[in-house]
Amino acid sequence: MIELIPAIDLIEGKCVRLTKGEYDSKKVYNEDPVAQAKEFEKLGFKRLHVVDLDGAKSKHVVNDAVLKGITENTSLVVDFGGGIKTAEDIEKAFAAGASMVTLGSIAVTNPELCKEWIGKYGAEKIILGADVRNGKISINGWKEDSEEDLVPFLKKYIDMGIRNVLCTEISKDGTLAGPAVELYKELMAEYPMMHLIASGGVSSNNDITDLNKAGIPAVVFGKAYYEGRINVKELCL
């Protein structure tokens, strides 16, 4: 069964969602992300994906205190990303209780540092963030497109031992238009050893079922839950 991972995206300490990563599209769903995390736990979820959107924009971790509030008040397994650029940033995330960290922009701009972190913390503690737009990896809060093509980018890190990959199709994110199932199927066919986490576009339980049938190991969803489009009682938690 596909692993189900709700998401909390943070701006100014509040639980928000964006559309296609555009900060001007911000919608606040809960002003208390710790309360939101507790709600997810009460519903039966075991994992949580937390994104520091302030951190992604400012290029350093900002919302580590909120992360700490979540990890100290729930037993959720939390992965945390957004703004992790330095040794201080990654230490902040782990010190605040993150079980795993997602490395996105830094994996493009400084692969040697990421390789060092994989050796130091272990590949199981690292999730590779592969945020893709028009086949290229996007960085810095999706404000810039790099020259990195998706598949060679994945191969580089799989060769370093990475197995956890969060792949967001940016054109789908926050649109409720359905996930990029065909893209994920292609990636799994290329790298069946990946624990691929699909992200972007989930609009309903049916989308999750489609990803499960396609053999995708995990899925992150946010807006579909907050907009009441997902029936949690029908999910296998």
* H-only helix segments in the chain: 33-43, 53-58, 64-73, 87-95, 105-109, 111-121, 150-158, 181-190, 205-213, 223-226
Q: Which residue has the tokens 């050796």?
A: 119
3-state class (DSSP) for residue 137: strand
Do 131 and 123 form a contact (C-beta atoms < 8 A)? no
Which residues are bridge partners to 126 per DSSP? 101
Residues classed as catalytic: 9, 131
Neighbouring CB atoms inside 10 A of 68's CB total 17
**List of residues 6+ apart from 216 with CB closer than 8 A:** 2, 181, 184, 185, 188, 196, 198
Distance CA 184, CA 131 (A): 13
CA distances from 193 to 61, 158, 196 (A): 30, 9, 9
Distance CA 15, CA 11 (A): 7
Do 212 and 179 form a contact (C-beta atoms < 8 A)? no
Do 66 and 36 form a contact (C-beta atoms < 8 A)? no
